Amino acid sequence: MARVLILHASVGAGHKRAADALATAFTRRSPGQVRVEDVLDYTNPLFREAYSHSYLRLTDKLPALWGYVYEQTDRDFFRFATELRTLVDAIWAWGLRKLIREYSPRVIVCTHFLPAEVLAQRKGRSRLTQPLYCVVTDYAAHAFWAYRDVDRYFVATEETQQQLIERGVRPGAIQINGIPVDPGITTPKDLITVRQERGYPLDRPLITIFGGGLEPGRVRVIVEGLLQQGLDGTLVVVAGRSRSLLAELSDLEGTSKTELHKLGFINYVDDLVVASDIVVTKAGGLTVSEVLARGRPMIIIDPIPGQEESNADYLAGVGAAISIRLPQHVAFSIMQLLADPHRLQAMSESAHRVARPRAALDIVETILSDIGERAV
C-alpha cells in the first residue's frame, strides 16, 4: 500500500481517536505504511500552547464565551478565514510542508480542520499534488471545515452534508459514512458474556457514567442523587485520568441497594458500554459514536456550546439520547428510564438505526478505491 499520512490536532481527544481508528482500518484493509501525526507538533511552541490550551480553558472555564466565538466564526467565516489562513500559514505551514516533503505520502487524511485549512489553500495554488481528504468528527460541520479544494469529505449525516454544500463544497465531494471509531467495535459482544467476564451482576441494571470530562462536583451530584433515590443496581463511574474526580467521590460508598464502582483509567471502555443499560456521558463526537455502535441509550450531560450541543441535539432528535443541562435532574431521568423498559428499548433501537460502526473501514475502502489501491 502507498504511504498514508493522517493528520489530527491535539485539541481534545476525539480527533486523535478518529485518526487512530482510520490508521487501524488502513492497516487491516491494505497493510502498508501509515503515519499519524499531530499537526501542532509542527508549529511554533508558543502557537501550539496557545492553540490547544485556549480551547480547553474556554470550554472548561468560559463555555458561554466559547459558544459565542463558535457561533460568530461560523457566521462570519469568509471574512475571518482569510485572516486565519494568513496567520496560520506564516506560523506553522513550513513545518507541515517539511513533513510532507520528507515522508512523501500518496494520500493525506485530516481529522481536524486546522491542517485541512492550510493544505486546501496549498492545493488551490497547485502546491500540493496529493489527494486531500477530510473526516468531520462531529454531527455538524462548522464553517472552518468548508474548503473547495478538498478532494473528498466524509461526514456523519445528511444534515452535515447539507451544511457543507451550503458553504460551497461540491455535493459530489461529500460522502456520508459516519464518524470513524475503532474497527474492533464491529466485533459482536453480548451483555451477559461481558458482565460475566467483568464480574457484574446479570440480574440488575448497570449504569455507567463517563465522568473524566465533567466537572467533578457535577458528577458527585449525579452519584449522590442515584444513591439517595435507591438505585437498585450497579453504578460505575469512570474518571479516566481525572484524579480530581476520584478525590471528589472518595467519601461516597455504595448502599445495600446500589453497588458503586469508582474507576480511573481503563482499557475496556467498549466492554463497559456493552455491559451497560444506560450510559451517561459528554457529547464528544467519537464517544457518542462508540456508544451508538453498541446500541446503548445515552444521557448527555453538560454539552459544550457549539459542536457538543449540535451532537446532543442530533442524538436527542433521533431518539437515542436525552440531553440534560443540570446534573440534579440526571438521577430522576435514569430512574424514569429504568421504570419504562419500552422506552429504553426504543432508544436502543434508535441508536442501532443511526450507528455506523463500519465508518472507518468504509472510509478507507473509498480512499483506496480513489487512489487505485486494492483492499485485501
Question: For the domain 4-181+357-370, what is the CATH superfamily, name and number?
Answer: Glycogen Phosphorylase B; (3.40.50.2000)
Mean pLDDT (whole number) for 120-128: 82
Does the pLDDT of residue 375 top 60, yes or no? no
User: Would you list the domain boundaries of the chain?
Assistant: 4-181+357-370, 185-354
Domain 185-354: state its class: alpha beta
Does the pLDDT of residue 87 top 70, yes or no? no
Q: Report residue 125's pLDDT band, with 50, 70 and 90 as the boundaries.
A: confident
Does the pLDDT of residue 323 top 90, yes or no? yes
**Matching CATH topology for 4-181+357-370 and 185-354?**
yes
- Interval 27-67: pLDDT, tens: 998 777 999 999 988 887 777 776 666 666 666 666 677 66
- Interval 170-201: pLDDT, tens: 999 999 999 999 999 999 999 999 999 999 99
Does the pLDDT of residue 306 top 70, yes or no? yes
Contact status, residue 117 vs residue 143, Cβ threshold 8 Å: no
Mean pLDDT (whole number) for 349-364: 97
Mean pLDDT (whole number) for 70-75: 68
Q: Which of 51-55, 343-347, 348-352 has the lowest mean pLDDT?
A: 51-55
Does the pTM exceed 0.75?
Answer: yes
Does the pLDDT of residue 83 top 90, yes or no? no
